[in-house]
Amino acid sequence: MRWTLHAVALAVLVACVAGCGDSNGGASGTGGREQPVAAGATGGGAPDPERGVAGRITSTTGRPLEGALVAVRGLGHSPAAVPELAVYSDDEGRYAWDLPPGRWELSVRAEGHRRSAKAVHVRTGQRATLDFRLERAP
């Protein structure tokens, strides 16, 4: 399942690069595994510590979930404002996303666990914290 999620995310990224890779909104960043990987990142480098949202994804036992897929949906504003397609958690279960100010819904999926979604309000000049504890799937 994990490789399937990665393959789907990669296919979406490749399609976007081929069809929408302009200098302002396309997928031009490089991303690396030392930071949470951003599919279609636009600017490379570490996330801005004073912007967006960050958190940790763990199982209900507290074990960090590496490679969890974090997707976003704008609540009350244009989805075109989303700078990346998705981000993944690192080996400590941490993720960070430089989302612009506004209300967002983040949903998290990890192999062998139930999907979880939460709303967050990102404010100008502040980094919101949003942690997830995922239950095992039956």
Give per-residue pLDDT as tens, 69-125.
999 988 886 655 666 789 999 999 999 999 888 899 999 999 999 999 999 999 999
pLDDT at 85: 81
3-class SS of residue 3: helix
Q: Tokens representing 58? A: 């763990």
Query: Residue 86, CB half-sphere, CA atoms under 13 Å: how many?
Result: 19
Bridge partners of residue 40, in order along the sequence: none
pLDDT at 38: 41
Mean pLDDT for the stretch of residues 32-54: 52
Judged against a pLDDT cut of 50, whether residue 44 lies above it is answered with: no
Q: Are 99 and 70 in contact (CB under 8 A)?
A: no
* Domains along the chain with CATH numbers: 2-134 (2.60.40.10)
| More confident call, 64 vs 47 | 64
Share of the chain above pLDDT 70, in %: 59
Judged against a pLDDT cut of 50, whether residue 15 lies above it is answered with: no
Judged against a pLDDT cut of 80, whether residue 137 lies above it is answered with: yes
pLDDT at 49: 65
Q: What is the mean pLDDT of the chain?
A: 73
User: In the 3-class helix/strand/coil scheme, how is 31-63 assigned residue by residue?
Assistant: CCCCCCCEECCCCCCCCCCCCCEEEEEEECCCC
pLDDT at 51: 80
